[in-house]
Amino acid sequence: MRHRIAVVGSGPAGLAFARVLHRHDYPVAVLERDPAPDTRPPGGTLDLHEGLGQLALDKAGLLAEFRELSRPEGQAMRILDADGTVLRDWQPRPGDRANPEIDRGQLRDLLLGPLDVRWGQGVREVAPGTRDGVPVRFEDGRQETFDLVVGADGAWSRVRPAVSSAMPHYTGVTFVETSLDDVDTRHPDLARLVGDGSLAVYGVNRALVAQRNSGGHVKVYAQFRAPLDRHTNPDRQIDPNRRADPDPADVEAVRSSLLALFDGWAAPVLDLLRHGTAFVHRPLHVLPVSHTWAHVPGVTLLGDAAHLMPPLGAGANLAMLDGAELAESVAAAAPGLGALDEAVRAFEERMWARAGRWAQITTAGLERLVSPDPTEALALFDEVQPS
């Protein structure tokens, strides 16, 4: 028997869930607030780990296509100190496919494939279940009832309140993202500096990270400790020199404030900020480490909605594996709502255990990467990089 299943959100979690169900010929309604797949820029590059994101793609039957699209050379990692001295320069070994990179947009299109997403269907809330099922209320006032509602709607999930009162809190670290296009022709020196993969420079309580995407595109993340209202409260200060905060809409003001924050760093490193186009402000929020909830029949969460954590290369991977594993459990469940509920309950236990481990690792990692002692960042990489 096929149950009425909805997944809210078409990010990595929701799409992996829907795509694996599709592989099992199991229908699912994918409800997405964005009016179209390309409404927002898709974001930067993601490295998909062998036992996580790649495993999810395998479950979806998409591993071979991923291998065609992904960039194993993107696993290269170079670390500089603030005066530009190269401290580490790791290159992937031939045939190393442990963590190849893929552009988010390419991954989204790969997962979307034949899926029939219901675009422009933002969910406002999920109401308590009744004998008829779990009612989903849409932003436009409509309501529809399902046997299982899966919240894969990210950090600010509208499904989460149906199972948990937890809300994300600010980590104290903000990323400001910028990007450079066509680096190989327009900024060849920066193209060489960044190389095929990532470049990272660590200073006191701040870092600059640049990552090559496909098509000569480079994303740059200025990372630093700051109050949450850095951009909204003009009385707050961003650094010990007590400079006033810039207006986020004023590109040149943001650029000069970042150049001031990284004052004294090597000129080629600062060029990443000098040539960046628009700036996007991303204060990092997280859910409590080991976030769990009392199981609620008919509703569950996946990905960031369940376990938002610092962005240290795990979130999308976990989101995809959550989605793929829940889909397999649902497809394999015996007929009847009781069996479906047991499958979801068992999945939640597995997801909580895995996500809890990663939330601890990434929370500790963020403390070391944006740290008063920059040697901590290097030590962390030495621990995780193959020698």
Residue 142, exposed/middle/buried by CB under 10 A (0-12, 13-18, 19+)?
Answer: exposed
Task: Please tell me whether residue 103 binds ligand FAD under the rule CB under 6 A.
Answer: no
Task: Please tell me whether residue 209 binds ligand FAD under the rule CB under 6 A.
Answer: no
77-81 and 198-203 as β-strands: parallel, antiparallel, unpaired?
parallel
Per-residue binding letters, 41-80, with ligand FAD (x by CB under 6 A): -----xx---------------------------------
- Residues 7-26 within binding reach of ligand FAD (CB under 6 A): 8-14
DSSP H helical segments within 246-285, as ranges?
Answer: 251-261, 267-274
Write out the DSSP string of 85-127: -EEEEE-PPTT--SS-EEEHHHHHHHHHTT--EETT--EEEEP
CA–CA gap between residue 191 and residue 115 (Å, rounded): 37
Contact 88, 381 (CB under 8 A): yes
Task: Please tell me whether residue 365 binds ligand FAD under the rule CB under 6 A.
Answer: no
Stretch that binds ligand FAD, among 265-273, 304-312, 335-343, 350-358 (CB under 6 A): 304-312
The count of chain residues that interact with ligand FAD, using the rule CB under 6 A, is 31
Q: How far is the CB of 369 from ligand FAD (least distance, A)?
A: 13
Per-residue binding letters, 249-288, with ligand FAD (x by CB under 6 A): ---------------------------------x------
Q: How far is the CB of 326 from ligand FAD (least distance, A)?
A: 12
Stretch that binds ligand FAD, among 71-79, 311-319, 334-342, 368-376 (CB under 6 A): 311-319
CA–CA gap between residue 314 and residue 317 (Å, rounded): 5
Q: Which of 32, 103, 328, 341 binds ligand FAD (CB under 6 A)?
A: 32
Give the DSSP H/E element, type plus range, for residue 185: helix 183-186
Which residue lies nearer to ligand FAD by CB, 88 or 118? 118
Q: Which of 197, 303, 365, 374 binds ligand FAD (CB under 6 A)?
A: 303
Task: Please tell me whether residue 307 binds ligand FAD under the rule CB under 6 A.
Answer: no
The two tokens of residue 42 are 């898709």
Q: Which of 100, 154, 168, 197 binds ligand FAD (CB under 6 A)?
A: 154
Task: Please tell me whether residue 326 binds ligand FAD under the rule CB under 6 A.
Answer: no
Contact partners, residue 15, CB within 8 Å, separation at least 6: 30, 108, 111, 112, 115, 323
User: Residue 211: helix, strand or coil by DSSP?
Assistant: strand
Task: Please tell me whether residue 151 binds ligand FAD under the rule CB under 6 A.
Answer: no
CA atoms within 13 Å, Cβ hemisphere of 192: 4
Of the chain, the end-to-end C-alpha distance in Å amounts to: 51
CA–CA gap between residue 348 and residue 361 (Å, rounded): 20
Task: Please tell me whether residue 197 binds ligand FAD under the rule CB under 6 A.
Answer: no
Stretch that binds ligand FAD, among 3-11, 126-134, 197-205, 373-381 (CB under 6 A): 3-11
Where along the sequence are the contacts to ligand FAD (CB under 6 A)?
8-14, 31-34, 46-47, 122-123, 152-154, 158, 175, 282, 303-305, 311, 313-317, 319
